[in-house]
Amino acid sequence: MKGVILAGGTGSRLHPLTRITNKHLLPIYDRPMISYAIEVLVGAGVREIMLVTGGTHAGEFLRLLGSGDEYGIERLSYAYQDKAGGIAEALGLAEKFVGDDRCVVLLADNVFERSVRHCVDAFVKQDRGARVVLTHEPDREHLRHLGVAQFDGNQRIERIVEKPEKPPSEFAVTGIYFYDASVWKVLPELKPSGRGELEITDVNNWYLSQGLMEYDVLDGFWGDAGESIDAYYAVNDFVRTHLANKAR
Protein backbone atom coordinates (compact mmCIF):
# COMPACT_ATOMS: atom_id res chain seq x y z
CA MET A 1 0.00 0.00 0.00
CA LYS A 2 1.22 3.48 -0.88
CA GLY A 3 0.76 6.58 1.27
CA VAL A 4 -0.21 10.02 -0.01
CA ILE A 5 0.17 13.00 2.32
CA LEU A 6 -1.64 16.15 1.21
CA ALA A 7 0.13 19.26 2.48
CA GLY A 8 -1.00 22.01 0.12
CA GLY A 9 -3.64 24.72 0.46
CA THR A 10 -3.31 28.38 1.31
CA GLY A 11 -3.77 27.99 5.05
CA SER A 12 -6.01 31.06 5.11
CA ARG A 13 -7.76 29.93 8.29
CA LEU A 14 -4.44 30.19 10.14
CA HIS A 15 -3.53 33.70 8.99
CA PRO A 16 -1.40 35.53 9.96
CA LEU A 17 0.71 32.51 10.99
CA THR A 18 0.75 31.24 7.41
CA ARG A 19 1.78 34.46 5.71
CA ILE A 20 5.40 33.37 5.91
CA THR A 21 5.20 29.57 5.65
CA ASN A 22 3.05 26.59 4.73
CA LYS A 23 0.74 25.66 7.63
CA HIS A 24 2.07 22.10 7.69
CA LEU A 25 5.52 23.45 8.61
CA LEU A 26 4.18 25.25 11.68
CA PRO A 27 5.19 23.67 14.99
CA ILE A 28 2.98 21.28 16.91
CA TYR A 29 4.55 21.09 20.35
CA ASP A 30 8.23 20.28 19.64
CA ARG A 31 8.37 19.58 15.89
CA PRO A 32 6.85 20.58 12.54
CA MET A 33 3.25 19.52 11.94
CA ILE A 34 4.20 17.47 8.86
CA SER A 35 6.31 15.10 10.96
CA TYR A 36 3.22 13.84 12.79
CA ALA A 37 1.56 12.92 9.49
CA ILE A 38 4.65 11.00 8.39
CA GLU A 39 4.72 9.23 11.76
CA VAL A 40 1.06 8.18 11.28
CA LEU A 41 1.86 6.33 8.07
CA VAL A 42 5.29 4.95 8.91
CA GLY A 43 3.98 3.73 12.26
CA ALA A 44 1.20 1.90 10.40
CA GLY A 45 3.71 0.14 8.14
CA VAL A 46 3.35 2.41 5.08
CA ARG A 47 6.89 3.20 3.92
CA GLU A 48 6.39 4.42 0.33
CA ILE A 49 4.96 7.93 0.47
CA MET A 50 4.23 10.83 -1.86
CA LEU A 51 3.97 14.34 -0.42
CA VAL A 52 1.73 16.69 -2.41
CA THR A 53 2.19 20.38 -1.68
CA GLY A 54 2.05 23.75 -3.41
CA GLY A 55 2.52 27.48 -2.99
CA THR A 56 5.69 29.49 -2.55
CA HIS A 57 7.09 27.45 0.34
CA ALA A 58 7.04 24.00 -1.27
CA GLY A 59 10.83 23.81 -1.40
CA GLU A 60 11.02 23.95 2.37
CA PHE A 61 9.57 20.43 2.59
CA LEU A 62 12.50 19.10 0.57
CA ARG A 63 14.94 20.93 2.86
CA LEU A 64 13.22 19.48 5.92
CA LEU A 65 12.50 15.93 4.79
CA GLY A 66 15.12 15.22 2.13
CA SER A 67 14.93 11.60 1.03
CA GLY A 68 12.78 10.71 4.04
CA ASP A 69 15.27 8.13 5.28
CA GLU A 70 15.62 9.90 8.64
CA TYR A 71 11.87 9.45 9.15
CA GLY A 72 11.79 5.74 8.31
CA ILE A 73 10.51 6.26 4.76
CA GLU A 74 11.86 3.85 2.16
CA ARG A 75 10.74 5.90 -0.85
CA LEU A 76 9.66 9.54 -0.67
CA SER A 77 8.32 11.31 -3.76
CA TYR A 78 7.07 14.87 -4.18
CA ALA A 79 4.32 16.42 -6.31
CA TYR A 80 3.42 20.06 -6.79
CA GLN A 81 -0.15 21.38 -7.00
CA ASP A 82 -0.13 24.52 -9.12
CA LYS A 83 -3.23 26.05 -7.57
CA ALA A 84 -5.72 25.32 -4.82
CA GLY A 85 -8.12 23.00 -6.66
CA GLY A 86 -9.28 20.86 -3.78
CA ILE A 87 -8.28 17.68 -1.99
CA ALA A 88 -9.51 15.40 -4.77
CA GLU A 89 -7.50 17.30 -7.38
CA ALA A 90 -4.39 17.03 -5.22
CA LEU A 91 -4.93 13.29 -4.87
CA GLY A 92 -5.04 12.99 -8.67
CA LEU A 93 -1.39 14.06 -8.82
CA ALA A 94 -0.45 10.79 -7.12
CA GLU A 95 -1.96 8.47 -9.74
CA LYS A 96 1.32 7.45 -11.40
CA PHE A 97 2.99 7.03 -8.02
CA VAL A 98 0.30 4.73 -6.66
CA GLY A 99 -0.41 2.90 -9.92
CA ASP A 100 -2.51 -0.24 -9.45
CA ASP A 101 -1.70 -0.41 -5.75
CA ARG A 102 -4.03 0.66 -2.96
CA CYS A 103 -3.44 3.92 -1.17
CA VAL A 104 -4.01 5.62 2.15
CA VAL A 105 -4.52 9.38 1.86
CA LEU A 106 -3.82 11.64 4.83
CA LEU A 107 -4.44 15.35 5.28
CA ALA A 108 -1.27 16.58 6.91
CA ASP A 109 -2.99 18.85 9.44
CA ASN A 110 -4.82 15.93 11.07
CA VAL A 111 -3.34 14.74 14.36
CA PHE A 112 -4.26 11.48 16.10
CA GLU A 113 -3.68 10.44 19.68
CA ARG A 114 -3.34 6.76 18.83
CA SER A 115 -1.93 4.66 16.02
CA VAL A 116 -4.19 3.97 13.03
CA ARG A 117 -2.41 0.73 12.18
CA HIS A 118 -5.59 -1.26 12.87
CA CYS A 119 -7.35 0.77 10.17
CA VAL A 120 -4.58 0.04 7.67
CA ASP A 121 -4.70 -3.66 8.54
CA ALA A 122 -8.50 -3.71 8.12
CA PHE A 123 -8.24 -2.16 4.66
CA VAL A 124 -5.61 -4.70 3.62
CA LYS A 125 -8.13 -7.45 4.48
CA GLN A 126 -10.97 -5.64 2.68
CA ASP A 127 -11.66 -7.17 -0.74
CA ARG A 128 -12.05 -3.87 -2.59
CA GLY A 129 -13.47 -0.39 -2.35
CA ALA A 130 -12.73 2.36 0.12
CA ARG A 131 -12.59 3.01 3.84
CA VAL A 132 -13.00 6.09 6.01
CA VAL A 133 -12.21 6.74 9.65
CA LEU A 134 -14.82 8.37 11.85
CA THR A 135 -14.58 10.12 15.19
CA HIS A 136 -17.37 10.66 17.71
CA GLU A 137 -18.06 14.38 18.02
CA PRO A 138 -20.91 15.30 20.38
CA ASP A 139 -20.56 19.06 19.79
CA ARG A 140 -23.18 19.72 17.13
CA GLU A 141 -21.87 23.19 16.41
CA HIS A 142 -18.48 21.70 15.57
CA LEU A 143 -20.17 19.08 13.38
CA ARG A 144 -21.57 21.88 11.22
CA HIS A 145 -18.00 22.55 10.06
CA LEU A 146 -17.14 18.93 9.23
CA GLY A 147 -18.16 16.07 6.95
CA VAL A 148 -20.71 14.00 8.87
CA ALA A 149 -21.78 10.39 8.31
CA GLN A 150 -25.45 9.58 7.79
CA PHE A 151 -26.27 5.96 8.71
CA ASP A 152 -29.00 3.57 7.63
CA GLY A 153 -30.82 1.20 9.98
CA ASN A 154 -27.98 -1.33 9.78
CA GLN A 155 -25.33 1.15 10.91
CA ARG A 156 -23.83 1.39 7.46
CA ILE A 157 -23.01 4.81 6.07
CA GLU A 158 -25.58 5.94 3.50
CA ARG A 159 -23.80 9.16 2.58
CA ILE A 160 -21.47 11.80 3.91
CA VAL A 161 -22.91 15.28 4.31
CA GLU A 162 -20.43 18.15 4.11
CA LYS A 163 -20.89 20.94 6.68
CA PRO A 164 -24.54 20.11 7.42
CA GLU A 165 -26.83 22.68 9.02
CA LYS A 166 -28.55 19.74 10.75
CA PRO A 167 -25.93 17.01 11.34
CA PRO A 168 -27.41 13.56 10.67
CA SER A 169 -25.26 11.88 13.33
CA GLU A 170 -22.51 12.58 15.87
CA PHE A 171 -19.82 10.90 13.76
CA ALA A 172 -17.49 13.07 11.70
CA VAL A 173 -15.14 11.94 8.94
CA THR A 174 -11.49 12.48 9.79
CA GLY A 175 -8.86 13.35 7.19
CA ILE A 176 -7.60 9.85 6.48
CA TYR A 177 -9.03 7.87 3.56
CA PHE A 178 -8.33 4.51 1.94
CA TYR A 179 -8.94 3.77 -1.75
CA ASP A 180 -8.45 0.98 -4.23
CA ALA A 181 -7.42 1.68 -7.85
CA SER A 182 -11.01 2.55 -8.81
CA VAL A 183 -10.39 6.03 -7.42
CA TRP A 184 -8.46 6.96 -10.59
CA LYS A 185 -11.59 6.36 -12.64
CA VAL A 186 -13.73 8.41 -10.25
CA LEU A 187 -11.58 11.54 -10.08
CA PRO A 188 -11.88 12.57 -13.77
CA GLU A 189 -15.68 12.40 -13.49
CA LEU A 190 -15.93 14.87 -10.61
CA LYS A 191 -17.46 18.30 -11.08
CA PRO A 192 -16.18 21.34 -9.16
CA SER A 193 -18.20 22.31 -6.11
CA GLY A 194 -19.65 25.74 -5.45
CA ARG A 195 -16.25 26.89 -4.26
CA GLY A 196 -14.61 25.73 -7.49
CA GLU A 197 -12.81 22.71 -6.03
CA LEU A 198 -12.93 18.94 -6.50
CA GLU A 199 -14.23 17.59 -3.21
CA ILE A 200 -13.06 14.40 -1.52
CA THR A 201 -16.57 13.98 -0.10
CA ASP A 202 -17.81 13.43 -3.66
CA VAL A 203 -15.27 10.62 -4.06
CA ASN A 204 -16.41 9.02 -0.82
CA ASN A 205 -20.07 9.32 -1.76
CA TRP A 206 -19.37 7.60 -5.09
CA TYR A 207 -17.96 4.60 -3.24
CA LEU A 208 -20.98 4.66 -0.91
CA SER A 209 -23.34 4.68 -3.90
CA GLN A 210 -21.62 1.51 -5.14
CA GLY A 211 -21.81 -0.20 -1.74
CA LEU A 212 -18.00 -0.24 -1.55
CA MET A 213 -17.29 1.80 1.59
CA GLU A 214 -16.35 0.47 5.02
CA TYR A 215 -15.41 2.46 8.12
CA ASP A 216 -13.67 2.45 11.48
CA VAL A 217 -14.42 4.58 14.53
CA LEU A 218 -11.45 6.07 16.35
CA ASP A 219 -10.92 5.92 20.05
CA GLY A 220 -8.84 8.70 21.49
CA PHE A 221 -8.25 12.27 20.41
CA TRP A 222 -8.41 13.56 16.86
CA GLY A 223 -7.81 17.16 15.88
CA ASP A 224 -7.63 19.19 12.69
CA ALA A 225 -4.87 21.69 13.39
CA GLY A 226 -5.69 23.64 10.23
CA GLU A 227 -9.36 24.23 11.03
CA SER A 228 -8.85 27.50 12.92
CA ILE A 229 -6.40 29.33 15.17
CA ASP A 230 -8.26 27.98 18.22
CA ALA A 231 -8.12 24.42 16.86
CA TYR A 232 -4.41 24.79 16.10
CA TYR A 233 -3.62 25.75 19.69
CA ALA A 234 -5.98 23.09 21.07
CA VAL A 235 -4.03 20.43 19.14
CA ASN A 236 -0.77 21.90 20.41
CA ASP A 237 -2.00 21.77 23.99
CA PHE A 238 -3.18 18.18 23.66
CA VAL A 239 0.04 16.90 22.09
CA ARG A 240 2.19 18.72 24.63
CA THR A 241 0.32 16.97 27.44
CA HIS A 242 -0.55 13.57 25.94
CA LEU A 243 1.71 13.13 22.86
CA ALA A 244 0.42 11.63 19.58
CA ASN A 245 0.41 8.43 17.50
CA LYS A 246 0.74 6.24 20.57
CA ALA A 247 0.64 2.47 20.15
CA ARG A 248 -2.72 0.98 21.02
> Which residues have C-beta within 8 Å of that of residue 141, sequence separation ≥ 6?
none
What is the pLDDT, as a whole number, of residue 80?
97
What is the pLDDT, as a whole number, of residue 169?
98
What is the pLDDT, as a whole number, of residue 10?
79
pTM above 0.85, yes or no: yes
Three-state secondary structure string covering the chain: CEEEEECCCCCHHHCCHHHCCCHHHCEECCEEHHHHHHHHHHHCCCCEEEEEEECCCCHHHHHHHCCCHHHCCCEEEEEEECCCCCHHHHHHCCHHHHCCCCEEEEECCEEECECCHHHHHHHHHCCCCEEEEEEECCCHHHHCCCEEEEECCCCCEEEEEECCCCCCCCEEEEEEEEECCCHHHHHHHCCCCCCCCCCHHHHHHHHHHCCCEEEEECCCCEEECCCCHHHHHHHHHHHHHHCCCECC
The length of the chain, given as a count of residues? 248
* Spans in the chain with pLDDT lower than 70: none
Q: Which domains does the chain have, with CATH numbers?
A: 2-242 (3.90.550.10)
